Every structure is written in structure tokens, then in C-alpha cells.
Amino acid sequence: MVMALRKRVLRIIKENKGRYIGIVILILLGSFYFIAATGVANNLEKMVVGFAEEYRQEDLTFSTDKPIKDISALESETGTLIEAYRQYDVKLSNGELRLLSPSSKINIPAVLSGRGLENPGDILLDPYFSQTQGLDIGGQIELNGKTFNIVGTMAVPNYVYILKNLYDVLPTSGFGIGIVSGADIEAFPELSSEAVTVYGARFHARENINAQTTKLHGLLIEKGYSLSEWLDAKNNKRINMPYGNISSMKSMSFPVAAAFFLLSCLIVGVMIMRTVKSDGVVIGTLYAQGYRRRELTRHYMAVPVLLSAAGGLAGTLLALPCVRPVVDSMLVHYVLPDKGITFSPLNLTLAVLMPVAFIGLSSFLMMRRILKKTAVELMKGDEQKAKVNFIERALRLDRFKFNTKFRIREQVRSIPRLLFLVLGVSAASMILLFGFTFNYSMNVVMDKGALERYVYPLEYNFKEVRNLQDGGIPKGAEPYNTLRCYPEGRESVEFYLVGMESDSVGFKVNDIRGNALSRDQVNISSPLASRLRIKEGDTILSLVSKLDGKSYSLKIDGIVKAYGEQFVYMPLDEFNHLTGQPLGSYRTVLSSHEIDFDENLLAGVMDARDPEAYENVSMPTTLIVASVSALAVLIAVIIIFLVTSLMIDESRNTISLLKILGYRGKELAKLILNSSAPAVFIGFWLGLPFMLAFGNSLYGYVAEIINMLIPMMVNPLYVLISFVLIFAVYEVTKRLCGRKLAKISMSDALKAGAE
Amino acid sequence: MFLSVSNLTKSYCTGTITHVLKGVDLKMERGQIGVILGPSGSGKSTLMNIIGGVDRADGGTVEVGGERITDLNDNQLVEYRRESVGFVFQFYSLVSNLTVAENIEVVSNISKNPLKTDEVLSAVGLSDKKNRFPRELSGGEQQHVSIARAIVKNPKLLLCDEPTGALDFQTSRSILKLLQEVNKKYGTTILMITHNSAIAGMAHAVFRLRSGEVAESAHNSEIIPAERIEW
């Protein structure tokens, strides 16, 4: 580019510093979000999925009534790796440590610090346990009279989230795991009565896990084994907890960043087109002087390319140090090897080049139309003269007051500018509303979800199916039985089929209107009914049992009002009959009070007496909402500021003329700055359906991936707060732009000549 | 005396100091048409801007209808512009995205006692084009709109800066005729800047400006109708 023209690029930017800074921030946010979200998602995936793959996480865990005889034959028959490990719980004065024997085929332990097991008496501990117990590598721990040397910390793939029992929801305070050699476990004298053997299985073929699971189950039953604690990884909280974070981060990363880039493209494109248009006579003159089109294209492209490269680069650099703390906070409850934070070179390149390509292209397309004109055409200055578009022409505004007419015309004067404002405010409102709705939905799930359903707050899950004929249930308690099912062909829609007694009172079972439903019929939870598109009187055909692959059909009698829960309730006797279990079979006891069951018989206890304890395991929603709201407000400020300042610049001569004609500052501000109010209003309300569509598709995606249903609960109060917030931003921005308006001098119109 | 300018001075500093007005004096009676003639750079526009309350003088006084506008503060000048003065510019200065009627309403919207838009449109002969946009009109028609916009507030003083400067002879004559009609119909005092000395024939008072000074001022006893002006 010719030197003199090159100097002009920086001058163009300097002339409208505020506007260009706004654009750079918008691009920066896009790149920042893209790198941060993909960085978090990829690093979480690398740590969680990478650990699962590298250290061969089990697909299935189970126990048997007797040791499996020929494991290798079973392995080759089912295409599976099966490994037995010993498990022995040692009580301590201030906690409990579960000793596991090291496995070598699946669930292989990863040493996090220190060294692996080498000598008899060596022990590896989970890092949280060593931390809470104040134990250090090199120290010792005494377990049932035997002293072990702590040689390191470790993570195992089937205890990523350390829950004592398989069906526990919350970690048990003071509970941890440790790995000692098989010989050391066997050396405990009381072992024969208290240690258990647990099996883990991992299929060679990584597809159709459900079918392979059912096949293995059938084969083991066929061979005469009685199975207990049969649980696949997808439903095993020790394994599946961190997967939700990965899915939601992955699903959010690209669309949000792309939305930022597209918004930036629109505004930069519009602005570049206007700059080129207003320079029409200069361009014509330069053509006449012998400049080539490509030289001028390069000149005008320099602005968008510089802005997008600066924004992209700054966003990328700012995002890099933010990924580690986010990943750490998301994995704070999980034990995983730290693989270090890495970034995909492709994503880094995309974060910088994507805005350059998007914005460069849109600017190029916008300016090409003008640069194609001949020198004579351009020098006539037609490009600078404002044209009346078809909407302006079609509008008949006679019945309105002048101020209303003026504001309407001011808005429809530039359709891309109006579009940018409406879409930008919609995007900001959508983000803001989504933050609030997400927060409210999660609160509703916590307040009115599963925990609220429990009238009897204690739930005892047994390792094996029991029978009422072998002994009664204490007063104030009731039995129920469960089976994990899915509709044929939709394996992602897993839910519990629950058998409960017809006089059960342990659960609230109310219909949509809040009336109690009969327990003597088949009732489906409302979220599951809507997911399966089922209504009262419909029949669910081909319901497949996850345990043995058997298929059932059920006629639905009632719909239970629920938030996020997926279940079908039916009478216990019918349940047992349907699933081929003996009459009186049950797996769980729901109780109003604590019952002293033998701990060895239990697979888990759920205690709903203190719902607040569950808030710790839910996602840190307050932080998410606060950051999302701040982001939305920032976007709204930038967009409204950009459009208003663009509007002021484009109406410079009109404003100047109105000043000459005797308009006061306040009247001008009302006329010009208030003209965007309807667009902001429409943009906000468009944000609501956009948010619902976005939220539903995101929640639908999450439901398909991790089978977690989050209800879309829009709270009118939060909508009102968002509305007030967006308009507060608009008011603040108007004040910022008011100064710009005041600076416009009357001499502009006097010098400008023709409008 | 309706308009009285006494010893008016104004200078600009653009690296060096330029004295644009060097003690200008002029006087006009209510209801007269005045013409200021002079070459480029003689200070015509600066003088008109100060009389119109758009610019401020360094020294001297300007009185319009008994009000000394050189003593007014910014807010009072706004009031003066919105109630007492109408402007007609060489290049019309219409708001391009407002229709003809709406361009007139720009002014009637803020005036205390405006004339009716339709009446003014009819007076300038544009009733049938009230819903057109400026670009859809000829230069002459646009200047008609500009005049309509200026008179809708029924101003005491109408200031016209080269109102025919961008128009051909016939159109120019029609504009001058219109201004003369306005002057007669509404009794509006009109002060016009022009290069064209032929226009002086239709004015009651003529001021020749040269290098920031009134070189000559004359009063016509015989006013020529605009349609008879030739150049």
C-alpha cells in the first residue's frame, strides 16, 4: 500500500476510537469465549475421557454370590475384559478407608504423586483422604493393627467421584480409598468375613454397550450366578459425575463464539461500507489519479483486518490463563490425574483467523459494490447521498406525531443497522435470560425435584433383591423395587420403573393439578411423559429392561407432576409379576426414621433430611449466572453504544441542522437517542423465544448425552429483572452518547451543503 | 428599526488571525426585503450567521425586533432561533429521510404558533408532493420545501443564504417570486445573501459587502417584481 494511504488507516481508527474499541471488545469476547470454552471442554475431556481410556475404565461393575470360575473363557465368549478385585473397609477413629487390591486389566490405578507399590506394606491413598487426614507421602498409617508406608497418592477410574456405596448420592465424610497389594489385603486376619470381591468388566467393542451388557448378564445367570450391585458406568455416579460438565461446555463453546463473530461481522461490515461510501469522492479521485482497485481494496481492508486480528489475538491471549482455574473448579470434587492444560493449535489458529476471515470477507463484500463503480460515477458523490429504502417509502405515518414519525424514520433508515441493534440486543437478552432461567430451573429442581418428593426421607438400597416373606418391614417404612429401562431404539432415554405398594405414603405422587394420584395404577412422571410424548391412556410399547434385555409394554393411567425426574410408578405386585420376580420382592426400603440394617447388605443410603447438603454437588450456578449476566450486560452496552454512535455520526448533518432550527439539547436527545427504544424493546422480547429455543435445544442435547432432564422454567420476575437491566444499560449508553450529540456543531450543517 | 447591526466585528484564528467583519453597520425596517451582495470571502455568511444567532460576534451589536441578540446567552439564542428566525440555505438542507410534509413539521413541531403545514405547502405550490422524499424532487422544488419549512413558524425574520445559487434561471426566478409573495402575504422581513446583483432590483435595501465592511448601502424606491428580473 502506498505510504500516504497507510497513514490514513490509523487516522480512520483514531477518528472513531470509541466505536472501534467497542468492535475490538466484541471480537475479543468471541475469541475469548471460544478459546476458554473449547479449552475447558477439551481439557476436561482429556482428563476425564483420557483417563477412562488410558486406564481402562470399567463399563460395568457387579458382585456375585460365588467366585466366577473360568474368567478367561467368559472373557473370550463375551468379548470382555473381566477382573476381580478385593475390597476391604477399615474403620478409623475419624473416618473409614476402603482398601482395594490393585487391578491390572481394567480400572488400573494411576499414581498422582510419589511412587507405585513396590514393597509389602506400601499403600497409595486418594489425595483427598490424605489431605483431610493430614497424611503425607513418606509417613505411615495404621490399619487394624498393621502399619502401612504411604508411598504416594493415586486415582482409579472407577472411583473418580469417591462415593462409599454404589447408590450413594453424596460422599461420606472421612471416607477414602487406598490401594495395597493383594497379599497385604489377604493378610488381614478377619478378612474372610469382611472383605468382598467385586468384578469390573470392560467390553472390547466400544459400541452397543447396552446389548453387550445384557448378553453378559444373561450368560452369568445362565451359568448359575446370582448377581448383585449390577451397575453400568453410565449410571454409576462414581464414574459419570464429571461427564455432564464436558457435554455442556462442548455444546456451548462453538455456537456462542460464532454468534459473537457474526454480530461483529455485521457491524464491522456495515461500518466499513459506510466509511467507503462516505469516501466515494476520494476513491473516485484516487481512481482518476491512477490508483488500482486492489490498492484501494487493500487500503480499506486494513481497518477490519487490523481490528479483527487485534481482537482475536487479545481474546485468545486473555483466555489462555483462564482455562486452568475453571477446569480445576469443575474437577474439584473428582480424583483424576493432572495431565496439564493443553490447547489445540487448530483452535488457537481458528480463534485468531476466524474473525479475520469472517469480518474480512463481510467487509470485502460490502466494499466491493462501491469499488466496482467508475471514477466518474464516484466523483459525482452519489454514494454519499442518502437513499430512501423501500421500507421508508412504503411507510405512511401521517397519523403519528412528528417525534414518532422522526424516530421511526431514523430507525428504518438503515436496515443492517436496525438488524444489528435488534439481533444484538436479542443476543444479550438471550444470554441474560438464559443465565437467570438456568439458575431458576436448577433451583426448582433442587426445591421441587426429587428431594421434595420424599415424604419418608431415608432410602436404603440393598445389594441384592430381598423378599417380604423373609421378614417384615418396620413400621414407618415401606418397600419398593426398581428396574432400569429404556424405550426400544432410544437407549439415551433411561428411567426407573418403580414398583410401590398401593398404600404407599413414602413418596408424594400428585397429578399436574396437585391432587394425589392412586398408587394402584401406572403413573409416569411429567418430564418423561413429555419426552416420550405420552399422555394418559397411552401405552408404552417395547420397554426394554437394561438388566436382561426383556421387553414390556405398559398402559399409562396417570401423569405425575415432576421437575426433571424420569420414572414410571406401578403397583409392586404388578411390577414383580411383569419383571418375573417372586411376589414380595423388593430392593429398596423407604423409611421415615433410621433403621439399623446390616451395613454389609446395603449398597447405599440416601438421606434427604438435609437438602442443602446436595447443593454442594450441583454446579456452581451463582458463579455461572453472575458471569453470564456480566457478559450479557457488556454485550448490550457495546452493541447499543455502537449503534447509537453510528446513528449519531450518520445523522450528524441533520442534528446540526436541527440545532440551527432551534432544537434544544434535550429535545434532540429525545428525538435521536430515544429512537432506538422500540428496537431495544423488540430485541429484548425476541430474546425470550431465542432463549427458549436455545435452552430447549441445549437441554435436549444434555438429556440425550447424559440423560439429565433440566426443566425450562421461566420466572416472570427474572424476565422483568432482565428487562429492567437491558433498559438500564440503554439509559446509561444514551447518557454516554449524549455527550457526543452535544459536541456536534451547527457549522457542520452550514458547511455540508446538500444533505 | 426592525433590524439594526452596529459596528459588528468578527475574526477567526486559523494559524493567523483573519478579520472577517470589520465594523459592519446596516439597518432595515420591518417587512422589507434586504439583499447583501458581495464576493466570496467578503463576510456575507458570517454576518448572516451572527444575525441568525448561529454564530457569535466579537464586538458590536445586533438588534432584531427590539431584542439585542448579541447579549443573549446560548439558551436564549436557541429560543430566538426557534421563534424568530427562519433559514433558507443554498443547498436546501432538507432531511433526506423525511417526506416533504415531515420536513416542514421539523420546524412546526417546536414552534409555539406555527402555520398549518397544508397551508404552507399550498403557499409554495407543493400540496400534491407532500408525501415525496427530497430526492424525488427537483432542485427548485426542494428549495420551495426549504422556504416552506422556514416560513411555517411565521418568523419575524427570514434569512436566505444564496437561495438561488444552485438553481437555473427560470427556477431561480420562481424562488424569488415565492419569497416576494411570502414577504407580502405574511409581512416577513427577508434578508438575502447573493452573488447576483440583478436580484438587488427586488429588494428595498441593498448592502454591498467588501472585505468585511459595508462598502455601499442603498434603498430602492421602486421595487421590481421577481418575474421581471433578468440576468
At A564-579, the pLDDT tens digits run 888 999 999 999 999 8
Return the C-alpha cell found at A89.
473397609
Mutating which of A401, A402, A414, A654 best tests the B interface, going by the most B Cβ atoms within 10 A? A402
Whether residue A519 sits in one domain with residue A485: yes
Which residues numbered 133-192 in B keep a CB inside 8 Å of some CB on A? 133-136
Answer whether A36's CB lies under 8 Å from A326's CB. Answer: yes
Measured CB to CB, residues of chain A less than 8 Å from chain B are: 385-388, 392-393, 396-398, 402-403, 405-406, 409-410, 413, 653-654, 657-658, 660-664, 667, 746-747, 749-750, 752-755
> Residue A6 is which amino acid?
R
What confidence score (pLDDT) does residue A345 get? 94
What confidence score (pLDDT) does residue A722 get? 92
Whether residue A408 sits in one domain with residue A354: no
- Evaluate whether residue B37 is within a structural domain: yes
Which has more pLDDT, A446 or A188?
A188
Q: Which of A755, A591, A559, A501 is nearest to B93 (CA)?
A: A755
Q: Region B203-229: what's the mean pLDDT?
A: 90
Q: Does B79 touch chain A (CB under 8 A)?
A: yes
Whether residue A42 sits in one domain with residue A172: no
What confidence score (pLDDT) does residue A98 get? 93
Whether residue A593 sits in one domain with residue A632: no
A3-12 CB burial, b ≥16 within 10 A, e <16: eebeebbeeb
Domain boundary among A385, A401, A421: A385
Which ipTM did the prediction report? Answer: 0.85
Burial zone of A419 (CB within 10 Å; 0-12 exposed, 13-18 middle, 19+ buried): middle
Q: pLDDT category, A253, cuts 50, 70, 90?
A: low
Q: Region A426-455: what's the mean pLDDT?
A: 81
Nearest CA in chain A to B112: A662
In sign, the C-alpha dihedral spanning A450, A456, A462, A468 is negative
Residue B45 with chain A: CB contacts under 8 Å: 750
Answer whether A305's CB lies under 8 Å from A360's CB. Answer: yes
Q: Under the phi-then-psi rule, with left for phi > 0, alpha for psi from -120 to 50, and beta for the rest, what region is A83?
A: beta
- Evaluate whether residue B113 is within a structural domain: no
Whether residue A512 sits in one domain with residue A483: yes
In sign, the C-alpha dihedral spanning A339, A133, A193, A237 is negative
Contact A755 B93 (CB under 8 A): yes
Q: Is the pLDDT of residue A163 over 80?
A: yes
Answer whether B159's CB lies under 8 Å from B51's CB. Answer: yes
- Evaluate whether residue B174 is within a structural domain: yes
CA distance A335 to A112: 9
Contact B102 A406 (CB under 8 A): yes
* HSE value, Cβ hemisphere, 13 Å, CA-based, for B142: 22
- Evaluate whether residue A613 is within a structural domain: no
CA distance B90 to B193: 10
Q: Does B117 touch chain A (CB under 8 A)?
A: no
How does pLDDT run across B97-133, given as a tens digit for each residue?
A: 889 999 999 999 888 888 899 988 988 888 999 999 9
Distance set, CA A18 to CA A13, A25, A607, A645, A737 (Å): 9, 11, 57, 9, 10
Cα of B10 to nearest chain A Cα, Å? 16
Residue B83 with chain A: CB contacts under 8 Å: 662
Sequence-ordered alpha helix ranges (H) in A486-571: 526-532
Q: Does B112 touch chain A (CB under 8 A)?
A: no
Cα of B80 to nearest chain A Cα, Å? 8
Q: Which of A413, A658, A663 is nearest residue B97 as measured by Cβ atoms?
A: A413
Contact A657 B91 (CB under 8 A): no
Q: Is the pLDDT of residue A1 over 60?
A: no
How does pLDDT run across A94-110, given as a tens digit for each residue?
A: 889 999 999 999 999 99
Q: Is the pLDDT of residue A256 over 80?
A: no
Cα of B9 to nearest chain A Cα, Å? 19
Question: What percent of chain B is helix, strand and coil (3-state, nearest 5)?
Answer: 35, 30, 35
Cα of B150 to nearest chain A Cα, Å? 9
Q: Is the pLDDT of residue A80 over 90?
A: yes
Distance set, CA B171 to CA B175, B177, B178 (Å): 6, 10, 11
Strands B33-37 and B189-194: parallel
- Evaluate whether residue B178 is within a structural domain: yes
- Evaluate whether residue A235 is within a structural domain: no
Q: Is the pLDDT of residue A743 over 70?
A: yes
Residue A392 with chain B: CB contacts under 8 Å: 97, 133
CA distance A181 to A291: 81
Which has more pLDDT, A621 or A486?
A486
Q: Which of A191, A184, A185 is nearest to A121 (CA)?
A: A184
φ, ψ of residue B154 to 5 degrees: the values are 55, 65
- Evaluate whether residue A233 is within a structural domain: no
Residue B82 with chain A: CB contacts under 8 Å: 661-663
Whether residue A341 sits in one domain with residue A405: no
Which has more pLDDT, B78 or A611?
B78
Residues spanned by the domain of A661: 389-442+619-755
What CATH number corresponds to the domain at position B54? 3.40.50.300
Domains in chain B, number: 1
Q: Is the pLDDT of residue A164 over 90?
A: no
Q: Is the pLDDT of residue A755 over 60?
A: no
Q: Region A709-722: what's the mean pLDDT?
A: 89
Q: Region A335-363: what's the mean pLDDT?
A: 88
What confidence score (pLDDT) does residue A555 get? 93
> In DSSP terms, which residues pair with A141 in a beta bridge?
A148
The DSSP 8-state label assigned to residue B165 in this structure reads T
CA distance A59 to A202: 5
% of chain A at pLDDT higher than 70: 93
- Evaluate whether residue A398 is within a structural domain: yes
- Evaluate whether residue B78 is within a structural domain: yes
What confidence score (pLDDT) does residue A710 get? 78
- Evaluate whether residue A237 is within a structural domain: no
- Evaluate whether residue B122 is within a structural domain: no
Whether residue A197 sits in one domain with residue A78: yes
Residues spanned by the domain of B35: 3-93+155-228
Q: How many CB pairs under 8 A join A and B?
A: 87
In sign, the C-alpha dihedral spanning A229, A230, A235, A238 is positive
Q: Does B76 touch chain A (CB under 8 A)?
A: no
What confidence score (pLDDT) does residue A237 get? 86
What three-state secondary structure class fits A225?
coil
- Evaluate whether residue B31 is within a structural domain: yes
Q: Region B10-19: what's the mean pLDDT?
A: 86
CA distance B82 to B86: 8
What confidence score (pLDDT) does residue B35 get? 94
What average pLDDT does the structure give for chain A? 85
- Evaluate whether residue A448 is within a structural domain: no
What confidence score (pLDDT) does residue A173 get? 85
Whether residue A216 sits in one domain with residue A81: yes
Rg over alpha carbons for chain B, rounded to the nearest Å, is: 17
* HSE value, Cβ hemisphere, 13 Å, CA-based, for A414: 22
% of chain A at pLDDT higher than 90: 29
Contact B45 A750 (CB under 8 A): yes
What confidence score (pLDDT) does residue A754 get? 42
A92-103 CB burial, b ≥16 within 10 A, e <16: beeebbbbbbbb
Distance set, CA A61 to CA A232, A550, A569, B108 (Å): 6, 20, 26, 84
Nearest CA in chain B to A755: B93
Q: Is the pLDDT of residue B213 over 80?
A: yes
Q: Is the pLDDT of residue B72 over 90?
A: yes
Whether residue A466 sits in one domain with residue A323: no
Q: Is the pLDDT of residue B149 over 80?
A: yes
Mutating which of B55, B56, B95, B135 best tests the A interface, going by the most A Cβ atoms within 10 A? B95
Q: Is the pLDDT of residue A613 over 80?
A: no
Answer whether A417's CB lies under 8 Å from A648's CB. Answer: no
Cα of B54 to nearest chain A Cα, Å? 6
What confidence score (pLDDT) does residue A746 get? 86
CA distance A694 to A714: 13
What's chain B's length in residues? 231
Residue located via cell numbers 432542485: B139
Contact B82 A662 (CB under 8 A): yes
Contact B102 A405 (CB under 8 A): yes
- Evaluate whether residue A238 is within a structural domain: no
Element (H, E) at B61: strand B59-64
> Residue A482 is which amino acid?
T
How does pLDDT run across B24-61, given as a tens digit for each residue?
A: 999 999 999 999 999 888 999 899 999 999 899 999 99
Strands A551-555 and A558-560: unpaired
- Evaluate whether residue B56 is within a structural domain: yes
Domain boundary among A583, A607, A631: A607
- Evaluate whether residue A466 is within a structural domain: yes
> In DSSP terms, which residues pair with B189 in a beta bridge?
B157
> In DSSP terms, which residues pair with A461 in a beta bridge?
A588, A604
Q: DSSP secondary structure string, B95-145?
A: -TTS-HHHHHHHHHTT-SSPPPHHHHHHHTT-GGGTTS-GGGS-HHHHHHH
Distance set, CA A568 to CA A460, A465, A481, A522 (Å): 20, 19, 12, 7
Q: pLDDT category, A614, cuts 50, 70, 90?
A: low
Strands A60-64 and A196-203: antiparallel
Domains in chain A, number: 4
